[in-house]
A and B are shown apart, each in its own frame.
Chain A
Amino acid sequence: MQILDTENISLIFRDKLVLENISFSVTAGEFFVIIGPNGAGKTSLLKVLAGLQKTQHGSVTIKNRNITKYRRRNLSQIMAIVPQHIEVGFPFTVADTVIMGRTPHLGILGMEGKEDYLRAREAMEFTEVAHLAERKLYQLSGGELQRVIIARAICQQPEIILLDEPTTALDPAHQLKIMDLMEKFRREKGTTIIMVSHDLNLASMYGDRLLLLKEGRVVETGAPKSVLNKELLEESYGCRMMVDESPLGQAARVTPIPDKYLQNYE
């Protein structure tokens, strides 16, 4: 079953064609990773999927309904977003932050009830930040902060979670932790994960399907092994790449090749 469907999306932003004729669909429960070089339009595409950016052409359909037909509140009941930039300037605690995810489920006065506190608690336990509940956001490390924001997204009880480069600033252990959390959440709740990532190897190991974007156009969509193709990657990223089978098995491994190693490779 398709939960998200895009048809011929084109986006012009500040007189520049950012996205051109993009069509793809995402199946419910899928781990879908959008990859591509800097400036390819990945974040813009994610904003379009989230309904935060209107397009000039084409349509986004979520659960068989055009995204423009949704009210913001109803859309947020279906979809949560983990943004790239996180504002920590205000002294909200972890618990304050996580329970903000309940917003689309609250009444007009915006007062949380027992169930909301319970959901927030569950979400914090799931991402293992419950012990930090009373800490302020600016006191957290990068990995902790990212898990708090993911807890907020989980607390929103969405059917789709969009993540914008959630692992970029993290060390390998924390990268795996974030990816494992998303994988586990998807397995338990059947939630669809759509992630923008720069890490081709994480994309290869976790993604069900990848979408390779370059200069606003789709280069290839499909299983990791077909998208992580040496020629396609070299063409898209503009550097030499080595693609082989990971010794761990079942996954393609991508190694960008620095010039000084080029001789050894050839």
Chain B
Amino acid sequence: MSIGKTIAFTTLLLCAVLIFISVVAISAGSSGIHFWEIMKTLTGKSVTDSATATIIWQIRIPRVILAASVGGTLALGGLVFQALLRNPLAEPYILGISGGSAIGAILAMLIGLSFFPGVALFSFGGSLLVLAFVTTLAGTALGNTMLSRDSLLLGGVMMNAFCAAVIMFLISMTRSFQVQHILYWLMGDLSSLQGGQLAILILVIPCFAVIFIMARPMNLLLLGRETAAAMGINVKNTILLLLIITSLMVSIIVSLSGLVGFVGLVIPHIFRSIFGPDHRVLVPACILGGASYLIVCDLLARILPSSGEMPVGIITALIGAPLFIILLLRGRS
């Protein structure tokens, strides 16, 4: 099968999965609306009562779109960083994005800003500051062969550790009623979504496109920087562009959802073990697969607790960690 056909086949297959899961997620929920009523509303065939339409159009569909965007972006982010750093443990928060945006978000909550736009803007700003710092470091590092990919990895880990200390400090200074809010955000939470935020998500789509175009250069980067350069890749520009684009889209997502963990680690691994190492297949697969995975996790986070919801980050980790271990065991045998 030629590469074009393989891409088309996997993409269509995963699209079908995503659509199926989305419909299930839209129809399931605590308000007990009948499935067929929902289908009729979705297809515009019936004029059901306005409450049902509101729940579907104003609450559930935006929620599913948010979950899909967050999942797709995080999975893709993990894939890109694993390729760039040639390290299977790299994840989308590796360059300190999580730390930076968490500090921003907590500061905003402490000042008493509303979730949107206040907290989101602060967390986006925080991650951009860290990103600017780390990529400047990487930019100088890439020009200088002394510093390898390991230094970039270490720089990110150190940045995250430093931010974690600042976060702990801020929490220790916080009055009790704000702590739960902050903890929810740190665990990754899709429930604070408000209308109007979804428009921001459109920004991640051009990022997806750019990364897809860079998929083949990413394959070559796996073979090492010099080998990639020898085959005509402008290595420095490619790495910097990928770092910046990926960090940007992850920052956008984090500012809306908080820190949802494990998606960026587990999804790329699953698809790499199924489809092999070619990023031209893996990029669309991770976007669609990550989206499906987070919709399912978010659905569980909504329906499992008898009252209220739990942060989706708990579910992604509860499913993700055992899944990851199973994959490791299978890979070894």
State the A residues within 8 Å of B (CB): 14, 47, 50-52, 71-73, 75-77, 79-81, 83, 85, 87, 89-92, 96, 100-101, 103-104, 106, 108-112, 117, 156
- Is there an interface contact between A101 and B4, defined as CB atoms closer than 8 Å? no
A103 in contact with B231 given A52-B226, A109-B213, A111-B3 (CB within 8 Å): yes
- Is there an interface contact between A104 and B222, defined as CB atoms closer than 8 Å? no
A100 in contact with B226 given A110-B217, A110-B280 (CB within 8 Å): no
Q: Which B1-22 residues have C-beta < 8 A from chain A?
A: 2-4
Main secondary structure of the interface of B (DSSP, over half): helix
How long is the Cα–Cα vector from A153 to B259 in the complex, in angstroms? Answer: 44
- Is there an interface contact between A106 and B226, defined as CB atoms closer than 8 Å? no
- Is there an interface contact between A72 and B229, defined as CB atoms closer than 8 Å? yes
- Is there an interface contact between B216 and A110, defined as CB atoms closer than 8 Å? yes
Does B233 have its Cβ within 8 Å of any Cβ on chain A?
Answer: yes
How long is the Cα–Cα vector from A177 to B215 in the complex, in angstroms? Answer: 35
- Least CB distance, B93 to chain A, in whole angstroms: 23
- Least CB distance, B273 to chain A, in whole angstroms: 9
- Least CB distance, B59 to chain A, in whole angstroms: 39
- Please give, as numbers and ranges, the residues of chain B lying within 8 Å of A50 by CB-CB distance: 230
- Please give, as numbers and ranges, the residues of chain B lying within 8 Å of A108 by CB-CB distance: 213
- Is there an interface contact between A103 and B276, defined as CB atoms closer than 8 Å? no
- Is there an interface contact between B231 and A104, defined as CB atoms closer than 8 Å? yes
- Interface range, B side: 20 to 34
State the B residues within 8 Å of A (CB): 2-4, 86, 146, 213, 215-217, 219-220, 222-224, 226-227, 229-235, 276-278, 280
- Is there an interface contact between B216 and A75, defined as CB atoms closer than 8 Å? no
Other than the known A87-B223, A104-B232, A111-B3, what 10 A-B pairs have Cβ atoms closer than 8 Å?
A52-B226, A72-B233, A73-B234, A92-B276, A103-B231, A103-B232, A110-B217, A110-B280, A111-B280, A112-B3
- Least CB distance, B179 to chain A, in whole angstroms: 44
- Is there an interface contact between B224 and A87, defined as CB atoms closer than 8 Å? yes
How long is the Cα–Cα vector from A111 to B233 in the complex, in angstroms? Answer: 15
How long is the Cα–Cα vector from A103 to B232 in the complex, in angstroms? Answer: 7
